[in-house]
């Protein structure tokens, strides 16, 4: 008997179940998740799905029949409260414990909250799942003005969708530029202009002090005393890994479940994959925690391979995308430690890319409406930089 229980029925969990079966695993595979839906993709939640250009069924990664034919058991609407690694059992909030031979954590992340006065007022929302969009839609329709706390991908994508509905949007970013954590000043400036041109009131260096309102949020009070009136506030200030269950079960975590290149945790019967993990990247010379579809899929495949007795050393070139208005940002690699940024093409033309170098090697590329440079970058990261490595403009 080799019963694999996968905790978390999201992008990584579904991929793992599928890859494990494809690798020849004969034993039982059970996907346990707390949401009521079949495993689904999240990127459209802040893009086409929020805009109403896509139905919920379109989000599903696979139809129900797929799980049946692949003999992948699904336990949805099943929040798990505890894991006992010695007894090899997981404990759902309701019902009988579920025993496993091998367990995989694929629990993802959750939005960070900000502990400010009024943060629990109705109308102050976060965005992670379908339920959050369902809760946001009526507020979108009722409010003529919304505020977004956080100028990262999710905040800016929601701002763009709201503008397409004619909603007035104020984006409050504590840093001096948007997406500061992930892109260079040139790319931030491009997106700041883009949002400005589309009528977003973008406030940089804005400290949020409180959310105001009687029975429903009516405004955001800033540190300087200004009040931004609004009928909804999206708090989009990053995500925290769901690693507490693993930590309580005695598995090593440190802002993410610590895994090796095969997704192995500190417990020999437990792997982990996706947003909830942290691993050492020899490529980048440090430990990293990635929040992307690419990582969820590729790391899940690596874990399936490791579990099938074919160890791999997962150390990817990460990639990511964001859609804002008609602009597509594609990111290959991680640019954090760059010492030189080369802009190729004219940002004013709306199509350009920025190559990030460290000690003369290409470590990352941000492509703005420039898919060719992105595709080539995914193959060229790590190489010594030459002007002809990527397209001319």
Can residue 108 be called a binding residue for ligand FAD (CB under 6 A)?
Answer: yes
DSSP string, 111-153: E-----TTTTSTTEE--SSHHHHHHHHHHHHH-SEEEEE--SH
CB of 116 to ligand FAD, least distance (A): 22
- Taking the complex as a whole, the smallest distance from the CB of residue 218 to ligand FAD amounts, in Å, to 25
- Residue 212 burial (CB count, 10 A): 17
Which of 41-49, 209-217, 257-265, 373-381 is the region at the interface with ligand FAD (rule: CB under 6 A)?
Answer: 41-49
Query: Euclidean distance between the first and final Cα of the chain, in Å?
Result: 57
Stretch 169-208: interaction string toward ligand FAD, x if CB under 6 A: ----------------------------------------
Q: Are 265 and 226 in contact (CB under 8 A)?
A: no
Q: Per rule CB under 6 A, is residue 151 in the interface with ligand FAD?
A: no
Q: Which residues contact 154 (CB under 8 A, 6 or more apart)?
A: 46, 127, 234, 236
Strand 29-32 vs strand 72-75: parallel, antiparallel, or unpaired? parallel
Nearest distance, CB of residue 22 and ligand FAD, angstroms = 18
Which of residues 18, 242, 305, 330 is near ligand FAD by CB under 6 A? 242
Interface of this chain with ligand FAD, residues 265 to 294, rule: CB under 6 A: 274-276, 291-294
For the CB of residue 365, give the shortest distance to ligand FAD in the complex, in Å. 16
* Contact with ligand FAD (CB under 6 A) among 5, 13, 25, 365: 13
Contact between 11 and ligand FAD per CB under 6 A: yes
Q: Which is nearer to ligand FAD, 35 or 173 (CB)?
A: 35
Q: Exposure pattern of 160-185 as b/e (b: 16+ CB <10 Å)?
A: bbbbeeebbbbbbbbeebbbbebbbe
CB atoms within 10 A of CB 347: 15
367 interacts with ligand FAD by CB under 6 A? no
* List of E strands, 141-255: 145-149, 168-173, 201-204, 208-212, 219-222, 227-229, 232-235, 239-241
CB of 34 or CB of 267, closer to ligand FAD: 34
For ligand FAD, the binding residue among 100, 314, 321, 352 (CB under 6 A) is 321
- CB closest to ligand FAD, residue no: 10
Only one residue has tokens 């492509």, namely 367
The single residue among 25, 34, 213, 364 that binds ligand FAD, judged by CB under 6 A, is 34
* CA 267 to chain CA mean position, Å: 26
Instruction: Single out the segment in contact with ligand FAD by CB under 6 A; choices: 5-13, 177-185, 188-196, 204-212.
Output: 5-13
Short-list 107, 117, 64, 59, CA closest to 83: 107
Contacts of 347 (CB under 8 A, 6+ apart): 186, 189, 190, 368
Applying CB under 6 A, does 335 fall inside the site for ligand FAD? Answer: no
Residue 245 lies near ligand FAD (rule: CB under 6 A): yes
Return the residue matching tokens 């930590």: 247
Question: Binder to ligand FAD among 5, 6, 10, 172 (CB under 6 A)?
Answer: 10
Q: Does 152 bind ligand FAD (CB under 6 A)?
A: no
Binding track over 51-90 against ligand FAD, x by CB under 6 A:
----------------------------xx----------
Residue where the block lists tokens 């460290």: 358
Closest to 129 (Cα-Cα) out of 242, 277, 248, 246: 242
> Judged by CB under 6 A, which stretch of 32-40, 178-186, 205-213, 360-368 contacts ligand FAD?
32-40
Q: Are 183 and 333 in contact (CB under 8 A)?
A: no
Q: Which residues form the interface with ligand FAD (CB under 6 A)?
A: 7-13, 32-35, 42-43, 45-46, 79-80, 106-108, 127-128, 154, 242, 245, 274-276, 291-294, 296, 320-322
């Amino acid at each position: 008997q080799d019963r694999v229980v996968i905790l978390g029925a999201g992008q990584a969990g579904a991929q793992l179940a599928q890859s494990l079966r494809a690798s020849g695993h004969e034993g039982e595979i059970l996907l346990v998740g707390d949401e009521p839906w079949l495993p689904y993709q999240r990127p459209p939640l802040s893009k086409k799905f929020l805009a109403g250009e896509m139905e919920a069924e379109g989000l599903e990664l696979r139809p129900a029949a797929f799980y049946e034919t692949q003999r992948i058991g699904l336990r949805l609407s099943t929040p798990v409260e505890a894991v006992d690694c010695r007894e090899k059992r997981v404990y759902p909030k309701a019902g009988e414990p579920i025993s496993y031979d091998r367990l995989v954590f694929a629990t993802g992340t959750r939005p960070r909250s900000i502990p400010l006065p009024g943060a629990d007022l109705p109308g102050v929302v976060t965005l992670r799942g379908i339920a959050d969009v369902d809760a946001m839609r009526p507020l979108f329709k009722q409010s003529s003005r919304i505020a977004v706390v956080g100028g990262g991908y999710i905040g800016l994508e929601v701002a763009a969708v709201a503008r397409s509905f004619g909603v007035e949007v104020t984006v409050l970013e504590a840093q001096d530029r948007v997406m500061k954590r992930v892109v260079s000043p040139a790319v931030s400036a491009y997106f700041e202009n883009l949002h400005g041109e589309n009528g977003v009131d973008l406030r940089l260096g804005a400290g949020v002090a409180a959310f105001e309102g009687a029975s429903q949020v009516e405004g955001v009070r800033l540190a300087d005393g200004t009040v931004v009136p609004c009928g909804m506030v999206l708090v989009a200030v990053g995500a925290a890994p769901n690693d507490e269950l693993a930590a309580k079960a005695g598995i090593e975590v440190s802002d993410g479940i610590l895994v090796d290149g095969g997704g192995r945790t500190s417990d020999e019967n437990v792997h982990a994959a996706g947003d909830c993990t942290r691993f050492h990247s020899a490529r980048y010379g440090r430990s990293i925690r990635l929040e992307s579809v690419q990582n969820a899929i590729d790391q899940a495949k690596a874990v399936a391979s490791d579990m099938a007795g074919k160890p791999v050393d997962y150390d990817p070139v990460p990639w990511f995308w964001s859609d804002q208005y008609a602009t597509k940002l594609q990111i290959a690699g991680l640019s954090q430690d760059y010492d030189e940024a080369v802009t190729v093409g004219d940002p004013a033309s709306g199509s350009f890319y920025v190559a990030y170098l460290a000690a003369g090697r290409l470590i990352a590329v941000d492509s703005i409406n420039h898919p060719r440079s992105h595709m080539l970058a995914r193959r060229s990261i790590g190489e010594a930089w030459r002007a002809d490595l990527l397209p001319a403009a």
